[in-house]
């Protein structure tokens, strides 16, 4: 601990000299507060000045079991004693095969083949490339476009960015790079608001008009994450699946944020009982320990891909199927599936709803909503980060607002008292920031 904060200040100054942070200007121009973390365990981040923060972000959806979980630490150590990494071209290993078997077993049938890659964005690139190669293999080379909905977010690489909401702030910067895809309105029905034909009509019309050139539909099932933090009714997903079948278009489910229990079912698709042709998972896959993601597809998709002129799927990252990440991912999934995760997420959902409810009375707040272990306060105006971020830290929590969204997706191991502290701090900080 550094009670006077001088070591923290020195680290921040060194950081400002050379380090770039996400969605930030470089160096001194970055502005805004920056907090130095010394360590993390359980649901607490320890700052170098000795302060402890209850983590409300799970390191961006990933650390579902909190930090330094003994089971995951042990899996990491055991795998390190065997091998940290080997290339995956022409070689295989137990951690990769075991993880792939587990993923096939827990995701909706008939997903059957697993491509283990290194980040969520890359798994979306892989999904898009699979879809395009599938149609090449099936003799339909004109099917090259993706159809999606507004307010979606699928990652920051060029293929993934091209299916993010065009008004989300990036498309106009990269027009030379991004493919032109098709955007239907965001699902208009809230999670608890039954989906009607009228809700689906604009999506259905766009798909009908462009089916011949559409390779796949890509969606975040039941909860639009970073772009909206808003749930939508599973019935929308059911209709999308039916429409994809009607028009012979593939369905890609991006479960990178929603996967592994976050919305109250193991996967968002499970709320609707549907199966996609291709599914992306990441984030919580390794419990936040290491960067790994996966793209799963059906045998039909795999066969189509391999029927293309290339005869193989044309992708292969250096760190594909990294054994260390795969071993931790398997331990993480075993831990999750062996826990009463469904009851836990339900408890957290109820506690988030109760704790955040007072925010609805604040004049600057547009809406308060929860879905699974996700709680959101949406403000009327963008929050002032220079005000709200230090206030949240002062109140002992780590929550990272974005635009008009002050939201939390805490680790599943967060207890009732910590959820109460977390939600009270969010309400208090929003009250301060919108005063
Ligand atoms: N897809 C969804 C739904 C996401 O929420 C994210 C990240 O926030 C991504 C893709 C990109 O994942 P990554 O940041 O690991 O590249």
Same domain membership, residue 345 and residue 209: no
Neighbours of 36 (CB within 10 A): 17
Say whether 283 counts as a known binding-site residue: yes
Q: Which atom of ligand 1 is nearest to the CA of 255?
A: 3
225 CB within 6 A, ligand 1 = yes
Does the predicted model carry a pTM greater than 0.90?
yes
On whether residue 163 sits in a domain, the answer given is yes
Atom 13 of ligand 1, nearest CA residue: 120
pLDDT single digits (tens) 107-156 = 999 999 999 999 999 999 999 999 999 999 999 999 999 999 999 999 99
Concatenated DSSP letters of 248-276: T-EEEEE-TTTTTTTTSSSSHHHHHT---
Q: How large is the average pLDDT for residues 9-15? A: 92
- Asked if residue 357 belongs to a domain, the reply is yes
Best mutation site among 125, 218, 282, 295 for ligand 1, i.e. most ligand atoms within 8 A of its Cβ? Answer: 282
Nearest in space to 122 (alpha carbons), one of 342, 316, 410, 270 = 316
Asked if residue 175 belongs to a domain, the reply is yes
DSSP 45: E
Residue 299 in tokens: 């045998």
Is 338 known as a binding-site position?
no
Give the residue ranges of DSSP H helices in 168-216.
197-210
Whether the CB-CB separation of 393 and 45 falls below 8 Å is answered with no
Query: Is residue 4 pLDDT above 80, yes or no?
Result: no
Beta pairing class for 278-281 and 250-254? parallel
- Ligand 1: residue of 155, 163, 231 to mutate (most ligand atoms within 8 A of CB) is 155
* Residues 404 and 379 sit within 8 Å (Cβ to Cβ): yes
State whether the beta carbon of 118 lies less than 6 angstroms from ligand 1. Answer: no
Instruction: Encode pLDDT of 17-56 as tens digits.
Output: 999 999 898 877 777 789 999 999 999 999 999 999 999 9
Task: Evaluate: CB of 282 within 6 angstroms of ligand 1.
Answer: yes
| Residue 213 predicted with pLDDT over 80 | yes
Cβ neighbors of 186 (< 8 A, separation 6 or more) are 149, 150, 151, 152, 224, 228, 230, 232
Window from 26-40, 73-87, 376-390, 416-430 with minimum mean pLDDT: 26-40
Q: Is 67 a catalytic residue?
A: no
Confidence of residue 196 (pLDDT cuts 50, 70, 90): very high
- Name which residue sits closest to atom 1 of ligand 1, judged by CA: 154
Could you tell me the distance, in angstroms and rounded to a whole number, from the CA of residue 3 to the centre of ligand 1?
Answer: 36
The average pLDDT across 398-420 equals 97
Domain count, the chain: 2
Task: Evaluate: CB of 226 within 6 angstroms of ligand 1.
Answer: yes
Same domain, 285 and 236: yes
Q: Are residues 278 and 367 in the same domain?
A: no
Give yes or no for a cis peptide into 197 (omega within 30° of 0).
no
Q: 157 with 249, same domain?
A: yes
- Pocket lining: 125 vs ligand 1, CB cutoff 6 Å: no
Q: Tell me the mean pLDDT in the region 174-197.
A: 91
State whether 212 and 306 are in the same domain.
Answer: yes
* 84 and 34 together in one domain: no
- Considering the domain architecture, whether residues 274 and 125 belong to the same structural domain is answered as yes
The Cα 261–Cα 284 span in angstroms is 9
For residue 320, is it within any domain? yes
60 is in an annotated binding site: yes
Q: Which atom of ligand 1 is nearest to the CA of 220?
A: 3
Half-sphere exposure of 72 (CA within 13 A, CB side): 24
Q: What is the ipTM of this complex?
A: 0.99
Choosing from 321, 337, 353, the residue where a domain stops is: 337
Is 121 flagged in the annotation as binding?
yes
Which is it for the CA torsion 226, 395, 54, 386, positive or negative? Answer: positive
Residues 322 and 354 in one domain: no
| CA gap 24, 5 in Å, rounded | 23
CA 274 to chain centre: 19
At residue 273, does pLDDT exceed 70? yes
Return d(Cα 260, Cα 37) in angstroms, integer: 27
Whether the CB of 254 sits within 6 Å of ligand 1: yes
pLDDT band at 182 (very low <50, low <70, confident <90, very high): very high
Quote the ligand 1 centre to 280 CA distance (angstroms): 10
* Closest ligand 1 atom number to CA of residue 60: 8
Q: What is the pLDDT of residue 21?
A: 93
- The answer to whether the beta carbons of residues 376 and 421 sit under 8 Å apart is no
48 is in an annotated binding site: no
Structural domain contains residue 1 = no
Q: Could you tell me if 328 and 187 lie in one domain?
A: yes
DSSP code for 42: B
What pLDDT is stored for residue 1 in this prediction? 67
Query: Which of 337, 370, 396 is where one domain is finished?
Result: 337
Q: Is the CB of 257 under 6 A from ligand 1?
A: yes
| Per-residue pLDDT, 230 | 97
DSSP 66-100: -BS-HHHHHHHHHHHTT-S----SS---HHHHHHH
Q: Which domain holds residue 139?
A: 73-337
Residue 122, domain member (yes or no) = yes
Q: Residues of 174-205 as b/e, b for ≥16 C-beta within 10 angstroms?
A: eeeebeebbbbebbbbebeeebeeebbeebbe
Q: Which candidate in 55, 118, 254, 418 is catalytic?
A: 254
Q: Residue 258 pLDDT > 90, yes or no?
A: yes
Q: Are residues 176 and 232 in the same domain?
A: yes
CATH at residue 258: 3.40.640.10
Q: Are residues 237 and 210 in the same domain?
A: yes
Question: Same domain, yes or no, for 56 and 189?
Answer: no
Does residue 287 line the site of ligand 1, with CB under 6 A?
Answer: no
CATH number at residue 26: 3.90.1150.10
Q: Which among 337, 356, 373 is the end of a domain?
A: 337
What is the pLDDT, as a whole number, of residue 30?
78
Within-domain flag for 422: yes
Output the CA–CA distances (angstroms, integers) from residue 187 to 203, 218, 233, in the order listed: 9, 13, 8
Mutate which of 257, 260, 284, 400 to test ligand 1's pocket (most atoms within 8 Å of Cβ)?
257
Confirm whether 326 is domain-assigned. yes
Residue closest to 159 by CA, chosen among 218, 115, 214: 218
Comparing CA positions, the residue from 286, 215, 289, 283 lying closest to residue 254 is: 283
Is 283 noted as a catalytic residue in this protein?
Answer: yes
């Amino acid at each position: 601990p550094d009670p006077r904060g001088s070591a923290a200040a020195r680290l921040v100054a060194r950081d400002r000299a050379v380090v770039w942070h996400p969605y930030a200007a470089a160096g001194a121009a970055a502005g805004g507060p920056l907090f130095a973390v010394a360590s993390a365990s359980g649901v607490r981040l320890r700052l170098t000045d000795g302060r402890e923060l209850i983590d409300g972000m799970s390191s961006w959806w990933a650390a579902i079991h909190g930090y330094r979980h003994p089971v995951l630490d042990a899996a990491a150590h055991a795998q390190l004693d065997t091998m940290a990494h080997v290339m995956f071209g022409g070689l295989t290993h137990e951690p990769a095969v075991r993880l792939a078997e587990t993923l096939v077993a827990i995701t909706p049938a008939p997903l059957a083949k697993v491509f283990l890659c290194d980040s969520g964005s890359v798994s979306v690139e892989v999904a898009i490339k699979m879809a395009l190669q599938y149609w090449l293999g099936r003799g339909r080379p004109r099917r090259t476009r993706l159809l999606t909905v507004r307010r979606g977010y699928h990652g920051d690489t060029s293929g993934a960015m091209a299916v993010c909401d065009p008004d989300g702030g990036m498309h106009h910067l990269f027009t030379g790079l991004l493919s032109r895809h098709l955007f239907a309105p965001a699902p208009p029905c809230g999670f608890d608001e039954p989906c009607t034909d009228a809700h689906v009509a604009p999506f259905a019309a766009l798909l009908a008009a462009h089916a011949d050139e559409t390779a796949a539909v890509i969606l975040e099932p039941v909860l639009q994450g970073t772009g909206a933090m808003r749930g939508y009714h599973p019935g929308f997903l059911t209709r999308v699946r039916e429409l994809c079948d009607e028009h012979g278009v593939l369905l890609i489910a991006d479960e990178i944020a929603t996967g592994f229990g976050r919305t109250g079912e193991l996967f968002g698709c499970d709320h609707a009982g549907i199966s996609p042709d291709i599914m992306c998972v990441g984030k919580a896959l390794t419990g936040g320990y290491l960067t790994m993601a996966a793209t799963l597809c059906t045998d039909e998709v795999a066969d189509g891909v391999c029927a293309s002129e290339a005869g193989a799927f044309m992708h292969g990252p250096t760190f594909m199927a990294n054994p260390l990440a795969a071993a931790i991912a398997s331990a993480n999934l075993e831990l999750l599936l062996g826990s009463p995760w469904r009851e836990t997420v339900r408890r957290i959902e109820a506690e988030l709803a109760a704790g955040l409810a007072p925010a609805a009375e604040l004049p600057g707040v547009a809406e308060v909503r929860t879905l699974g272990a996700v709680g959101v306060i949406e403000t009327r105006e963008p929050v002032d980060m220079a005000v709200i971020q230090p206030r949240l830290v002062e109140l002992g929590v780590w929550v990272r607002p974005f635009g008009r969204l002050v939201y939390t997706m805490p680790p599943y191991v967060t207890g009732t008292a910590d959820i109460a502290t977390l939600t009270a701090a969010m309400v208090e900080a929003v009250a301060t920031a919108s005063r």
